[in-house]
Amino acid sequence: MQEAMIARAKELLADGSVSRVMGWKKGEFSYDISPAVFENADQLVDFVYDDFCGANVSKYLINESKKEGKILAFLKPCDSYSFAQLLKEHRIDREKVYVIGIPSYGKADINKIRAKGIDGVLGIKSEGTDFIVDTIYGEEKIAKFEAMSERCLTCKSKKHVDVDEMMGEEGEWNAESKRFDKVAELEAMTPDERFEFWRGELSRCIRCNACRNVCPACTCVSCVFDNPNSDINNKAAASSFEENMFHIIRAFHVAGRCTDCGECSRVCPQNIPLHLLNRKFIKDINELYGQYQAGANADEKYPMVNFTFDDCEPGIVYKRGGNQ
Amino acid sequence: MQRIGVFVCHCGTNIAATVDVKKVAETLLQEPGVVYATDYQYMCSEAGQNMIKDAIKAQNLTGVVICSCSPRMHEATFRKAVAAVGMNPYMLEVANIREQCSWIHKNIEEATEKAIILGRAAVAKVHLNAPLIAGQTPVTKRALVIGGGIAGIQCALDIADAGYQVDIVEKEPTVGGKMTKIDKTFPTLDCSSCILTPKMVDVAQNENIKIYSYSEVESVKGFVGNFTVGIKRKARYVKEDICTGCGLCTEKCPQKKVPNDYNLGLDTKRAIYIPFAQAVPKVATIDADYCTMLKTGKCGVCSKICTAGAIDYTQQDEHLEEQYGAIVVATGYNPIKLDAFDEFAYSQSPDVVTSLEFERLMSASGPNGGHLVRPSDHKEPKTIVFVQCVGSRSTVECGKPYCSKICCMYTCKHAMLCREKYPDTEVYVFYIDVRTPGKNYDEFYRRAVEEYDVHYIKGMVGKVCPEGDKLKVQASDLLTNEQLHIDADMVVLAAAIEADKSARPLATLLTASMDTNDFFTEAHAKLRPVESPTAGVFLAGCAQGPKDIPETVTQAGACASKVIGLLAKDHLVGNPCVAHSDEMMCNGCSTCANVCPYGAITYETKDFSRRKDGTLMRRVASVNPAVCQGCGCCTVACPSGAMDLYGFSTKQIMSEVDAICK
């Protein structure tokens, strides 16, 4: 796949259709891969696409689409939802991006591989239901369901939203996804248990802002947490509860716009399951306003900013036991 | 630093009985920036206002906090007072220590503490207040009346009479409303049609009035003086300007089995119809649900018969937008559905009817030409039982908690008319109370009892059972404590009346408030009874609450005078507390425009380049201050906080919260 992508990128660069390529390159280790922009064909030697390329590149296209010339972007299905949502919010100039959809069969989570005692990772490839991990000690085989990141195990869609061309096979929306199971589990807790759960998780937060900075829904020119007029920023020093509020406010801010790409949890150095906050909102929106997938439809108003006569009344919170 | 004066009102004993006003003033004097604090019996009185004015001058105050009733009550009064001595009116804040404090607390200590906290929050806000200047907006000198019943008609006529243009939007094919269905009117027993139809003609002929019949309001934008209203003209498949109303088509249409809603389904009409002979506008309408041509494409009889060539099967709903300065809501009422009251056998026997159906049965324009016969076998009823309060004053969920107000009088009228026209008929009326407040109303009721021998029985009917051709009525007489069994030929149910179903969605369009019964609420129940709390929206008729014809006409006239008062102004002073966008922070994501109910937000792409960065074009929001109503939806929806509200900035509100939590 990687070679075919590079070849196609070179073609498009050569015929002048695009002037840059958005993709991924290796970091210090083969598994710490980061999104990268390649300015010419020569730079593409660093282009990589493998089972560690989980990073969502759509957010980078905000700035890239402001520059001169068109950029080629390879988007995985989940990236394409974020991309379409950004289009809806007028954050990306669609004319400046040439989108090639690429399939994704689930990306590996390095932490899970390490937890299996596999160290010295040099590379990864996919073989049926297993990942073959190349290490300095030789090849190791690990079942995909044991090594895949949580968001891929509960993948919502292998189908893209808005692409100019597809490479490889287009997939399907996965109606069977179990992505809300963990949320349902939390909902079944008593309020006290749930509070303890989140206090436990969020107390580890070091406010590195990685979740905010990677999030394709957090694209404000200036974040409300950095805005002195919001009167929020100076609360950080005043309360140890602040990091909890940060995540809750952030979840509110992206409610209805979060496409559930799972980047927040992927980048969290403290392994806080932040995506569960967003999924709770998505689940609630689905239940209260009907099925809705952010990014799936570029023209539709999202339920949080739309009013219909059938909307539930605020009393629904009470009816669902939210007062307890 | 501001120099703030605090004025604590006793409101007679309204506040002072539960709040230690002296302590509130003393404590607030300790707040930073507060240089003067006092209390007085009635701050809103002239003496009270002078006290504020004098203090502003003597103490060189830069800001004022009034601890009193709700700002909805007297904020405007106090703003005017401070402006009179040169202070910007937006340097004043009202802390509501009456509705939100003294009225809801009993414990003086607690209430006093809360009053102090509320005052402290207002002081904290004033510290961040800045002078604001209100702009002016022109007034569109045209009114919209929604609903063409007697309320709408009277209101439109009165407004038009003052020289202003009025449009009536009526959802039925004709104006006239419920009153067209009524036979006689209490307490004078004059014929409803005879007094209504001349008014309908007046409305049609008045050059200041335009009628959009068979139309509905589908969108409302703008604000007082400047509403833009979207009107849907439903396709009637007849060209309104060509149809002469000759009625030939309504006689020849082969589709005869259409329930006639004018007679409440008691008889049938054709698929093309004119509701009744005096309809205004007198044009035919095709009922698309029944028309064979529209359903199957085969028929076309009406088109062949129409010499004027008015039939147009291809007609589509038309959507238009009009500008108005004021909107009158006169959407009226309907009797409730009686499905849930089956103890009265309404759905089991055609001879159990509602009072409005009985009205049609008695009417000369009704299904039997005014000859009262039972719907089932067309025999004259010899015993009629009237049941009052069916669904009114009800504690069960399917009923209404309120008194429908008109039922006592019309039931009395029905009973009297029955006895008058058919003296051999026995008439029983079952009641909880007979309520007859109104000029000549009680005399009317006495006549029914004393002169016409109507049997008024205090008590409710427990059950009605159809048996053979009789209706077995089981009831209790509460005065004699007897169980009664009456073999009735007809039972007439005085069904509660409720606001028209179109009212609730309309209220949402208008952002006008409603009570739990879907009646529109007034700006003030006693002092502003025909105005909605939403500026520029006025109320007439049963949309506001149950009322009879004289009361409706009175209210419609009052409503018209308020509308005229508004339209007579050339300019309205706007509200300076509007939203504004910080372009440096705006993402141009459209969230604010999506939630703005007034369409006040537009986007422009602006150049934010700094010299060395090259060009940087960004899409940013801008607010039209003349259209913005300061509701604040955008400020809470904006993810980056770029939107803020003058007079209610995030900072001001947060400082209030901080002051409360201190």
Quote ipTM for the complex. 0.85
Q: How far is A115 from chain B (nearest CA, A)?
A: 38
Task: Name A275's Cβ contacts closer than 8 Å, sequence gap at least 6.
Answer: A150, A151, A260, A262, A264, A265
Tens digit of pLDDT for each residue in B496-547? Answer: 999 999 999 999 999 898 999 999 999 889 989 999 988 899 999 999 999 9
Q: Are B382 and B432 within one domain?
A: yes
Q: Are B417 and B551 within one domain?
A: no
Q: Kindly provide the b/e burial profile for residues B357-366, where b requires at least 16 CB atoms within 10 angstroms of the residue's own CB.
A: bbbbbbbebb
How far apart CA A99 and CA A86 sit, in angstroms, is 14
Q: Which residues of A touch B (CB under 8 A)?
A: 66, 89-91, 219-224, 227, 229-231, 253-254, 301, 304-307, 309
Tell me which H or E stretch contains B416: helix B407-421
A221 to B650: CB separation less than 8 angstroms, yes or no: no
Give the CB-side neighbour count of residue B163, counting CA atoms within 13 A: 3
Query: B307: exposed, middle or buried (C-beta count within 10 Å: 0-12, 13-18, 19+)?
Result: exposed
pLDDT at B616: 78
Give the CB-side neighbour count of residue A154, counting CA atoms within 13 A: 14
Count of C-beta atoms within a 10 Å radius of residue A118: 18
Least CB–CB distance from A90: residue in B505, B582, B619: B619
Q: Is the pLDDT of residue A246 over 70?
A: yes
**B242, part of any domain:** no
Q: Cα angle vertex B405, ends B400, B407, to 5°?
A: 90
Asked whether B510 and B532 are in contact (CB, 8 A), the reply is yes
Query: What CATH number does residue B605 fall under?
Result: 3.30.70.3270
Q: Is the pLDDT of residue A324 over 60?
A: no
Of B80, B43, B35, the residue nearest B60 (C-alpha): B35
Best mutation target, B220, B589, B636, B643, to test chain A (most A CBs within 10 A): B589
Band of residue A231 on the pLDDT scale cut at 50, 70, 90:
low
Quick one: average pLDDT of A131-145? Answer: 91
> What's the length of chain B?
662
Cα–Cα distance list, A46 to A315, B141, B325, B353, B463 (Å): 55, 70, 66, 85, 88
Q: Which two tokens stand for residue A250?
A: 């952030």
Q: How far is B611 from chain A (nearest CA, A)?
A: 16
How far apart CA A49 and CA A58 sit, in angstroms, is 16
B655, closest residue in chain A (CA to CA): A231
Task: Name B42's Cβ contacts closer than 8 Å, sequence gap at least 6.
Answer: B9, B10, B11, B12, B48
Q: How far is B398 from chain A (nearest CA, A)?
A: 21
State whether residue B635 sits within 8 Å of chain A by CB. no
Gyration radius (Cα) of chain A, Å: 21
pLDDT at A218: 92
DSSP 8-state class, residue B379:
P
Phi and psi dihedrals of B210, rounded to 5?
A: -120, 135
Asked whether B577 and B139 are in contact (CB, 8 A), the reply is no
Asked whether B431 and B389 are in contact (CB, 8 A), the reply is yes
The parts of chain B modelled with pLDDT lower than 70 are 611-615
B594, closest residue in chain A (CA to CA): A305
**What ranges make up the beta strands (E) of chain A?**
20-26, 33-38, 71-75, 97-101, 121-127, 130-135, 138-143, 165-166
A224 to B639: CB separation less than 8 angstroms, yes or no: yes
Least CB–CB distance from A221: residue in B585, B651, B655: B585
pLDDT at B609: 78
Best mutation target, A220, A258, A309, to test chain B (most B CBs within 10 A): A220
Per CB-CB distance under 8 Å, the chain A contacts of B585 are 220-222, 227
Least CB–CB distance from B589: residue in A91, A227, A304: A91
Asked whether B46 and B81 are in contact (CB, 8 A), the reply is no
Quick one: average pLDDT of A122-137? Answer: 91
pLDDT at A323: 47
Q: How many domains does chain B have?
A: 5
A222 to B584: CB separation less than 8 angstroms, yes or no: yes
Q: How far is A296 from chain B (nearest CA, A)?
A: 17
A229 to B588: CB separation less than 8 angstroms, yes or no: no
Q: Are B348 and B467 within one domain?
A: yes
Per CB-CB distance under 8 Å, the chain B contacts of A224 are 639-641
Least CB–CB distance from A230: residue in B587, B618, B650: B650
B592, closest residue in chain A (CA to CA): A305
Domain boundary among B77, B94, B128: B128
Q: How far is A2 from chain B (nearest CA, A)?
A: 34
Least CB–CB distance from B650: residue in A223, A231, A307: A231
How far apart CA B146 and CA B121 sit, in angstroms, is 42
Work out how many CB contacts closer than 8 A connect A with B.
61
Q: Which two tokens stand for residue B434?
A: 């007979």
Cα–Cα distance list, A100 to A58, A94, A166, A250 (Å): 12, 13, 5, 31
Per CB-CB distance under 8 Å, the chain A contacts of B616 are 66
Q: Which two tokens stand for residue B31?
A: 């707040």
How far apart CA B305 and CA B276 sit, in angstroms, is 20
Q: Cα angle vertex A117, ends A111, A123, to 5°?
A: 65
Q: Which two tokens stand for residue A81?
A: 């939802």
Range of the domain at B562: 142-234+317-332+510-567
Asked whether A37 and A74 are in contact (CB, 8 A), the reply is no
Q: SS3 of B9, please? A: strand
B250: left (phi over 0), alpha (psi -120 to 50) or beta: alpha
Domain boundary among B474, B498, B522: B498
State whether residue B595 sits within 8 Å of chain A by CB. yes
How far apart CA B560 and CA B557 sit, in angstroms, is 5
Of B365, B348, B355, B361, the residue nearest B334 (C-alpha): B355
State whether residue B644 sits within 8 Å of chain A by CB. yes
Residue type (1 letter), B149: G
Least CB–CB distance from A90: residue in B582, B590, B650: B590
Q: Cα angle vertex A312, ends A307, A317, to 5°?
A: 125
Q: Are B88 and B71 within one domain?
A: yes
Q: How far is B240 from chain A (nearest CA, A)?
A: 32
How far apart CA B266 and CA B286 sit, in angstroms, is 20
Per CB-CB distance under 8 Å, the chain B contacts of A221 are 584-587, 618, 640
pLDDT at B511: 86
Look over chain A and give the mean of its residue pLDDT values, rounded to a whole number.
89
Of A116, A146, A149, the residue nearest A264 (C-alpha): A149
**B229, part of any domain:** yes
Least CB–CB distance from B654: residue in A231, A254, A301: A231
Count of C-beta atoms within a 10 Å radius of residue B646: 19
Q: Are B278 and B323 within one domain?
A: no
Q: Are B217 and B301 within one domain?
A: no
Q: Are B105 and B184 within one domain?
A: no
Task: Name A118's Cβ contacts closer than 8 Å, sequence gap at least 6.
Answer: A133, A135, A140, A142
Q: Is the pLDDT of residue A234 over 70?
A: no
Q: Are B515 and B441 within one domain?
A: no
**B503, part of any domain:** no
Asked whether B95 and B27 are in contact (CB, 8 A), the reply is no
List chain A domain ranges: 1-107+157-174, 108-148, 179-324
Per CB-CB distance under 8 Å, the chain B contacts of A91 are 587-589
Q: Which two tokens stand for residue B135?
A: 């702009």
Q: Is the pLDDT of residue A128 over 70?
A: yes
Asked whether B531 and B127 are in contact (CB, 8 A), the reply is no
Band of residue A318 on the pLDDT scale cut at 50, 70, 90:
confident
**B289, part of any domain:** yes
Q: Kindly provide the b/e burial profile for residues B120-132, where b requires at least 16 CB atoms within 10 angstroms of the residue's own CB.
A: bbbbbbbbebeee
Least CB–CB distance from A301: residue in B589, B594, B603: B594
Per CB-CB distance under 8 Å, the chain A contacts of B641 are 224, 227, 229-230
pLDDT at A238: 64
Tell me which H or E stretch contains B494: strand B490-495
Per CB-CB distance under 8 Å, the chain B contacts of A66 are 616-617
- Bridge partners for B4 per DSSP: B34, B63
State whether residue B636 sits within 8 Å of chain A by CB. no
How far apart CA B92 and CA B126 sit, in angstroms, is 7
A301, closest residue in chain B (CA to CA): B594
Domain boundary among B85, B104, B128: B128
pLDDT at B414: 97
Q: Are B326 and B341 within one domain?
A: no
Q: Which two tokens stand for residue B611?
A: 């010299």
How far apart CA B316 and CA B59 sit, in angstroms, is 69
Gyration radius (Cα) of chain B, Å: 31
Q: Are B340 and B464 within one domain?
A: yes
A226, closest residue in chain B (CA to CA): B640
Q: Are B225 and B276 within one domain?
A: no
Per CB-CB distance under 8 Å, the chain B contacts of A307 are 508
State whether residue B509 sits within 8 Å of chain A by CB. no
Least CB–CB distance from B651: residue in A231, A304, A307: A231
Helices (H), B470-526: 503-510
> What's the length of chain A?
324
Taking the CA atoms of A178, A181, A182 and A184 in sequence, report the sign of the dihedral they define: positive
Return the percentage of chain A with pLDDT > 90, whole number. 64
Q: Are B484 and B632 within one domain?
A: no
Q: Kindly provide the b/e burial profile for residues B533-572, where b requires at least 16 CB atoms within 10 angstroms of the residue's own CB.
A: ebebbbbbbbbbbbbbbebbbebbbbbbbbbbebbeeeeb
